Structure 1
């Protein structure tokens, strides 16, 4: 390792050049920090998967309207939210929401706020109009029937009258002809002529012969034209005079009836216009303004409101499903009382598609809602829940966590260094070094375009705790060498010997720690990869800063103070010089001398228990993991800017999950292929029925699941549109509610009548082909991602087949994939880290120390401590999450540092000690003191994460702190026994011979 020795010697020989170069590099690298972006989206944790591709397909090819929208849920709670006063308060609240500039500019154009108050008011308005419409429709039907009936009768009677008139006129002609015969032929018999007329007419003239006979005689005796004309009139019209009078009277009567019928027809037309106007008004009142709704509710008494509630929330209510979606799942159908209800606020172009993040305008709008809803009514409170609130709380919890744990970590390190160093200058140098490491790390993030996310909060704490270890080991070794009579005791000489002595161990530590971090590159989760890269860069920067810049600064400062002010800078290294700490630290070496195999056996036994616990540790990834609980009250008394904010999203999320349908908790079933076939619709129907039977699916209080798909849309449109209703039922020949013929035509008419609704569940290509369909299934927000995934995949199996590909997807299912990837990360990173670190140590120890087995012995306590920490996670009920999922590789990467320092020191002491036991004791008490100091600072640094606002950070801090404790204990208690066994059976011959004591059978006395 001569070249490395020369490298470390360069730091002391050319300290000013090193300082200048490192400061320039620090400024250059640190300049990148200004380019760091922040991200709190949970989507960043998702990897490429078949389910994510299908969800992207859905988002690209299906729509539920013309706008990109997102929603906010407002939960109104009161003793009875269905009484008149609260329903009115809710409408007034909706008005204030729309009038607020911050909120109003984000709202969708139509139906931006919908709740049970709107449904009740609209139903009441429509009920009143509908009653009037029904009344007039009944009247119209009756009047129309009367007009039709009377018009037909009048037409029949007019036709009969016309026939009678014709018959009379024809009879007049026959009578005139008979009279002509009588006049022309004096011998003609009058009766005979009359009887001939009577025989040829349909008119009854049997009683009028006398009048005809008298007219005939008068005609024969007529001497003038006038007398003859008078005789003709008497013989024709005179005979029929009574019947002509009857015909005229009947005609007058029919004319009067015609005028009356015309009046009724006019009335019928007017009534038709009124009906059309009422229908138009009814359509318009299907979406009445808030002012109209408010006026309607104010005009109603509680009894009328209860009657309307029975219409929309009754057990047998038509279309009640829509209203039940706004009620708690515990609501009893038909009840006029409930302690909570929900409003849905729809925001236009809301974005916020990424889980856990939202655009600023949506965040501002939802925060404004919290202010607006503060004053609703006495005894009424409103819970605001949405992606903007969640995004704001995640971002605030990140900032609050940094504001709390950063200073606390630094404060703890300063206190620990004060105890270990007992020197202000050394403390300041350590703090300066930490600052430089953080500058390098964040500068790299900016240059590499790596976003600062929830995981990255742990990075500065991690680096504060780890980088100071380098300073402790170097400073303590420097102090040892300054007090070592066998080496140079001047500042520069002692630093040179100290750096050379501890430098190789530091390089080994850096390499193994970097390996542990970079093992996360195998993870399919992008932020874990980024965390591994950034942490590896940060620990490498710590090696450069504390292996070069800080030692160079210390040499210059100490020489200046001793040379200029004659200030003795010699200090005693922590843990040396006897005393209680030395005795405690020597426990491991004492046990190794007296009972090494017993120590190893106990360690293996504990590890076996830990290994069992490791198999029981859960894996977790969900939105709740990233939501902070409201901090303890004492933290809110902290001065600004350390006092944390209030956090309600997690409690609100749990409340919504337990009591309501959650708008963003959905699974989606994508069916691709030719979906315009009867078989495809049968499979979709079967999948809908299968989903309804799954316990992870959200069931409304009316007992119905909330599942949207092609069939549900068809059913809704058919109920509202007569034309489509006829088409839909004509295509359903067996009456099972599923079209079994002409499916293409049914789809075509559905798109023509309700294009937005159809496009939400059916994908029609530019060529007019129907390439895919989907079911949107509301799932219980509290259901586990495992249950949702397994059940929805079973539903997908029902829909797939016969040329159709069915895939279950959705955010919950993608979270389950992330959860599986986390477990994969735990296993793979552990195996890779172990293999890489074992190989690295065995190779480097073979080169440096001449024994590859020493490398394996050095890593063995760390392997044991991995099982200890996993068993502890099981006992503490801490799952693998985005941060704790890296604990196995971190345990190896971080823990091996303690073993390396002790192994390296032990080998160095073997070369100059009189016995193996002396070498072991010197190594444990000398290096052990530095290990204890670094362990204390690291544990303290990570321990402050327990005060973080983000739950994963709290768990990560606790479990990492315990990891460091285990690694320290394994190095000072277990490793000495392993080194003794190695020395006896595998170690160098010279070291083995050192086990013997001057007097046989006599154990060397302790120092």
Structure 2
């Protein structure tokens, strides 16, 4: 007795103990589901690249202004936001922020809100003099960073006027006084301490009294690690949401609009879009599956059993995630839909084979539910195991990816498909046996016809492949090869994408307004807001950095830094502020700013610059020491000094345009770093934009590597499996060939639809092989069984395409529908993933029922067993498979 016979006999003979054991295991494993946490942090997608390691080094060893702070950009838009009334309203908005308890508890201690209105009021109060001497660290950061407008004036001294005093000062000014103060603040000649240009759009003309937008920076105090590269805490997220709510309420002018742009509110929208996507696609997927099963099953009990099995599979899968400590991120929204489609495949194949067996009578002369299920499991069990193994190989090929969430997705999906095999191969058949017997004992007939059998329209459609295989197999294969060649050409043109914008939802379409309350999505404005900020302001999180390690006290190092500073400022990807200058922070720039404000350091700086070129050429270490003594925060922002007082590294920070492509930013910054590299220095271009660009490149590597690994592994697995079970390794190669065709077809389709490889669609090649091979395996497995049973090629092919082909059509319909509903998701990558995966299943089904029969016929003619190619019998033949056991063989035995 083979192992599959042993398992099928155990399920059939000991159904009640099997149910008890499986239910206990489901409860134990499923208990971990409650421990799954949700995460929308894109930094989790970064691999352990050199650039990512350097970014960690920077975060650990360089200061970025106030410790443990994060900033939000509040953009006020309107016809003219520089009017006196608009400036007063801006200050009152800041006042509202500070009076709100949710917001106030997160605000930094020193001047947490700052914008142009503050500088205009201070200019008035000081009668044109520098109103409040700002803390040097905040002022320097404001001048050198466009996004660092958050720091300009944000660190004003305790002597600064209160917001109410600033409001009173603005309201008391006449038109002439206001125009004079505004001009002083927004002039190119304004002092660094009082310049408000960093808060204006990049298109703003200095000195103009009119602008359609201005920026207010809000600095939050965090518990630690909440800088630009980190994720916002719950308190900061709540504060930014409250800021948006207050802004919408407090702006009295209907022509004005306020945008709150920060990591907290962005993360909130991403997480909400994840939840809304699940709320929409989950019920739609189940609804489609139920409708499809109504058509395929036409039986309420079988539908309920299928849904119970799906619930158990999901419980196993999410329970594993909880026990393994794997967070639920954007990618895992696809997991429930994926498992719903794959799980129902198992149910359809087992239930349809069981129905065939009951209609035709068992191999043992019995048509009872227990005996029929035993034979059905024995007949389809090998195919299901092979399908599970090959699909798991496809998922696990993602372990080669350097991107952690993709690795985790592969592991979780492999566990999920294994759970589907156990649930639908053991638990659900055992439950069906017990329930069918219970109903039949009360006189209810449980015999049902299998979908696609018994003639009719579906049988005729499914017979197209077998008819073509009999009449023109070479033509079918040639057409498939030509279409695949076209797909291969398109595959080479598919782009790769990994942008923050990919995960930000657009405002949902109008039809979603008619969804029931729990399914109705919220409003999403972040994508539109992000585009506006990218085009008009320096983003707080859009920076590139160049880390220079080595002999940084050598005067030659400073000369090379000066050249790099100039090169960075002239770069096409560096943002140009409204002042006309690029936003570059560097050791030399910091020295110049501190020297302009401190006479003592100015003397040290000038003494070290013997040739007057603005670059110290001697006593560099002494200059560093004096810089740290005079302005420690500013110095720590660009120079790394160890606890022992040694200088190990310096850095440059370049604000980049939000509209610049990541690849352009990476290329430009690497070129600058290459010019710095050498002669005792190691220069590395890094930053979030560059590390994300690396992820983008790694996605393409993942696509290619996972495809090759999956193809090789599945090819070897099927060759060995079919050599052992069927005595022919070549049957494994023939089974895989249609899947190779479908991979080419789907990649060509991605090119035609202009869908790029991203973190979701980047897995499509391995998924195509893993999912697609299932359809081919079922066809090949059934064909070989029927060929052995009947000895006739055409009889075997007819039974295969109408019996197993019908089950494949049902499973394909449910899987396509399940993935297709992802097109209604809120997140764009999920929409693309749903469309592409649905097409993948469609292509795999068509390849298995149209192309594979022709391949199997040619394989049988030249490499297969010696069987008849004569005309099929005119008498109707049963379509049920006996699981490979000849009809005259006693129960419990199989031929080797």
The whole-number CA distance in structure 1 between the counterparts of 2:785 and 2:302 is: 26
* Structure with a larger share of its residues in helix: 1
1:804 to 1:883, Cα distance in 2 relative to 1, 3 A: same
2:240 to 366, 371, 378: 366
1:469 aligns with 2:345: yes
1:792 to 669, 672, 690: 669
Which runs of structure 2 are paired with 1:750-789 in the superposition (5 Å)?
A: 750-789=627-666
Match in the other structure for 1:600? 477
The whole-number CA distance in structure 2 between the counterparts of 1:407 and 1:995 is: 49
1:485 positional shift: 4.2
Match in the other structure for 2:408? 530
Match in the other structure for 2:890? none
1:16 aligns with 2:16: yes
1:399 to 1:749, Cα distance in 2 relative to 1, 3 A: same
1:580 positional shift: 0.7
Indicate the SS of the match to 1:571: coil
1:630 positional shift: 1.0
* CA contact 1:698–1:706 (8 Å) conserved in 2: yes
Which runs of structure 2 are paired with 1:910-925 in the superposition (5 Å)?
A: 910-913=787-790, 915-925=792-802
Indicate the SS of the match to 2:650: strand
Indicate the SS of the match to 1:547: helix
The whole-number CA distance in structure 2 between the counterparts of 1:831 and 1:550 is: 35
Match in the other structure for 2:746? 869
1:1005 positional shift: 14
1:842 to 1:407, Cα distance in 2 relative to 1, 3 A: same
Match in the other structure for 1:550? 428
The whole-number CA distance in structure 2 between the counterparts of 1:987 and 1:589 is: 17
Larger displacement relative to structure 2 (731-740 or 455-464): 731-740
Match in the other structure for 1:491? 369
Match in the other structure for 2:498? 621
1:635 positional shift: 1.0
1:996 positional shift: 3.2
* CA contact 2:551–2:681 (8 Å) conserved in 1: yes
The whole-number CA distance in structure 2 between the counterparts of 1:308 and 1:750 is: 33
Indicate the SS of the match to 1:451: coil
1:925 positional shift: 1.2
Structure 1, unaligned runs of 5 or more: 134-282
1:519 positional shift: 0.8
1:299 positional shift: 2.1
Match in the other structure for 1:37? 37
Describe the superposition over 1:56-98 as per-residue Cα deviations: whole angstroms up to 9, x where unpaired. 1111111133521100000001111111110111011111111
Root mean square deviation of aligned Cα: 2.1
1:322 positional shift: 4.9
1:285 to 1:301, Cα distance in 2 relative to 1, 3 A: farther
Indicate the SS of the match to 1:37: coil
1:942 positional shift: 0.7
Describe the superposition over 1:911-955 as per-residue Cα deviations: whole angstroms up to 9, x where unpaired. 233621121111011111100000000001111111111111111
1:520 to 382, 398, 409: 398
Which runs of structure 2 are paired with 1:235-634 in the superposition (5 Å)?
A: 287-319=160-192, 322-349=195-222, 351-353=225-227, 357-374=231-248, 375-378=250-253, 379-485=255-361, 487=363, 488-563=366-441, 565-634=442-511
Indicate the SS of the match to 2:826: coil
* CA contact 1:33–1:442 (8 Å) conserved in 2: yes
1:310 positional shift: 2.7
The whole-number CA distance in structure 2 between the counterparts of 1:129 and 1:850 is: 94
Indicate the SS of the match to 1:382: strand
1:839 positional shift: 0.5
The whole-number CA distance in structure 2 between the counterparts of 1:365 and 1:729 is: 46
1:303 positional shift: 2.7
The whole-number CA distance in structure 2 between the counterparts of 1:908 and 1:65 is: 73
Indicate the SS of the match to 1:373: helix
Match in the other structure for 2:695? 818
The whole-number CA distance in structure 1 between the counterparts of 2:607 and 2:373 is: 94
The whole-number CA distance in structure 1 between the counterparts of 2:174 and 2:57 is: 50
Which runs of structure 2 are paired with 1:712-731 in the superposition (5 Å)?
A: 712-731=589-608
Describe the superposition over 1:195-214 as per-residue Cα deviations: whole angstroms up to 9, x where unpaired. xxxxxxxxxxxxxxxxxxxx
Indicate the SS of the match to 1:735: coil
1:997 positional shift: 4.1
Match in the other structure for 2:870? 996
The whole-number CA distance in structure 2 between the counterparts of 1:538 and 1:770 is: 52
1:356 to 1:9, Cα distance in 2 relative to 1, 3 A: farther
The whole-number CA distance in structure 1 between the counterparts of 2:806 and 2:767 is: 23
Larger displacement relative to structure 2 (767-776 or 580-589): 767-776
Match in the other structure for 1:707? 584
Indicate the SS of the match to 1:771: strand
The whole-number CA distance in structure 2 between the counterparts of 1:354 and 1:461 is: 34
TM-score by length of 2: 0.92
1:1005 to 1:556, Cα distance in 2 relative to 1, 3 A: closer
1:906 aligns with 2:783: yes
Match in the other structure for 1:736? 613
Match in the other structure for 1:270? none
Describe the superposition over 1:857-909 as per-residue Cα deviations: whole angstroms up to 9, x where unpaired. 00000011001111111111111111111110000000000000001111111
2:522 to 645, 663, 677: 645
Indicate the SS of the match to 1:879: coil
1:730 positional shift: 2.5
Describe the superposition over 1:753-774 as per-residue Cα deviations: whole angstroms up to 9, x where unpaired. 1111111111111121221111
1:713 positional shift: 1.1
1:942 aligns with 2:815: no
Describe the superposition over 1:106-134 as per-residue Cα deviations: whole angstroms up to 9, x where unpaired. 11111211111112222333344579x9x
The whole-number CA distance in structure 2 between the counterparts of 1:518 and 1:951 is: 25
The whole-number CA distance in structure 1 between the counterparts of 2:723 and 2:854 is: 21
Indicate the SS of the match to 1:325: helix
Indicate the SS of the match to 2:75: strand
1:347 to 1:396, Cα distance in 2 relative to 1, 3 A: same
Indicate the SS of the match to 2:523: coil
Match in the other structure for 1:274? none
* CA contact 2:794–2:870 (8 Å) conserved in 1: no
Describe the superposition over 1:355-385 as per-residue Cα deviations: whole angstroms up to 9, x where unpaired. 5832100010000001110122312211111
* CA contact 1:481–1:489 (8 Å) conserved in 2: yes
The structure with more radius of gyration? 1
Indicate the SS of the match to 1:601: helix
Match in the other structure for 1:239? none
The whole-number CA distance in structure 2 between the counterparts of 1:997 and 1:364 is: 75
TM-score by length of 1: 0.82
1:800 to 1:386, Cα distance in 2 relative to 1, 3 A: same
1:46 aligns with 2:46: yes
Structure 2, unaligned runs of 5 or more: 134-155, 880-896
Larger displacement relative to structure 2 (444-453 or 542-551): 444-453
Larger displacement relative to structure 2 (909-918 or 834-843): 909-918
The whole-number CA distance in structure 1 between the counterparts of 2:730 and 2:195 is: 72
The whole-number CA distance in structure 1 between the counterparts of 2:161 and 2:572 is: 38
The whole-number CA distance in structure 2 between the counterparts of 1:931 and 1:52 is: 46
1:285 positional shift: 9.4
* CA contact 2:46–2:695 (8 Å) conserved in 1: yes
1:295 positional shift: 2.2
Match in the other structure for 1:117? 117
Indicate the SS of the match to 2:72: strand
The whole-number CA distance in structure 2 between the counterparts of 1:116 and 1:998 is: 87
1:998 positional shift: 9.0
